[in-house]
Chain A
Amino acid sequence: SQQGEEDPQALSIQEGENATMNCSYKTSINNLQWYRQNSGRGLVHLILIRSNEREKHSGRLRVTLDTSKKSSSLLITASRAADTASYFCATVSLYQKTSYDKVIFGPGTSLSVIP
């Protein structure tokens, strides 16, 4: 079963509005990361939140983490047309039998910001 799953799959908003994307996961994690991907490009890291943190901010981005509900949300405030992209969450945990990181990406949310 998929570890990280974003919701909604697609989101269309007007410029200036806020955009909220959610990510749910199933097992314990060490941290959760959010990425942005413009069409046909690589993923760009946005923000990392550790399991002992509840909220982090970076510019117009606000990420929350609720480990009891195994969910995270990414809020983009005052959206701009340039924010149009796909957004992915990635959970980082440990493989049980090793000390290696296990990274799982969700299917992503496609955000369209209409000028």
Chain B
Amino acid sequence: KAGVTQTPRYLIKTRGQQVTLSCSPISGHRSVSWYQQTPGQGLQFLFEYFSETQRNKGNFPGRFSGRQFSNSRSEMNVSTLELGDSALYLCASSVPGQRNTIYFGEGSWLTVV
């Protein structure tokens, strides 16, 4: 069974640009969550999607958005990038409602210059 796949793995953007990150969950997993990880802030929850609906949202500005498609694949978008958005963005998938293991992808390293 393929794991959680995130693309791209590395990218560099300039301030003011926007970026889209993609996540393909494990087959059969309908819940996808996104996290931002920075050295100073640790793992911060961004949002969770289930069946194309956002169920939970963390405390991030509206520049951060996401969506989920009918095949459970998910994308997150950050508009008007700021230097502070430089981070590792992690996607995780799970089978919700069963409180089972959460599986993470390798992450997308975003550097904003």
Contacts and interface: CB of A to CB of B under 8 A. Distances in A.
B47 interface: no
A95 B108 CA distance: 28
Contacts of B48: 100
- The bracket for how many chain A residues form the interface is 20 to 34
A10 to B, nearest CB: 13
Nearest to B44: A105
Interface string A71-96: 00000000000000000101010010
Contacts of A35: 104
Contact of B55 (A40, A88, A100, A104): A100
B1 interface: no
B96 A40 contact: no
A64 interface: no
Given A40-B88, A88-B43, A45 B55 contact: no
A42 B103 CA distance: 9
User: Which secondary structure characterizes the binding site on chain A?
Assistant: strand
Contacts of A44: 104
B102 A30 contact: no
Contacts of B92: 43
B90 A42 contact: yes
Contacts of B100: 48
A101 interface: yes
A105 B107 contact: no
A41 B112 CA distance: 19
A95 B104 contact: no
A99 interface: yes
Interface of B: 4, 6, 33, 35, 42-43, 45, 48, 50, 55-56, 88, 90, 92, 94, 96-97, 99-107, 109
Interface of A: 30-31, 33, 35, 40-45, 48, 88, 90, 92, 95, 98-108
Given A42-B6, A95-B56, A101-B97, 13 more contacts: A31-B99, A33-B101, A43-B92, A45-B101, A45-B103, A45-B104, A88-B43, A90-B102, A101-B94, A103-B45, A103-B102, A105-B35, A108-B42
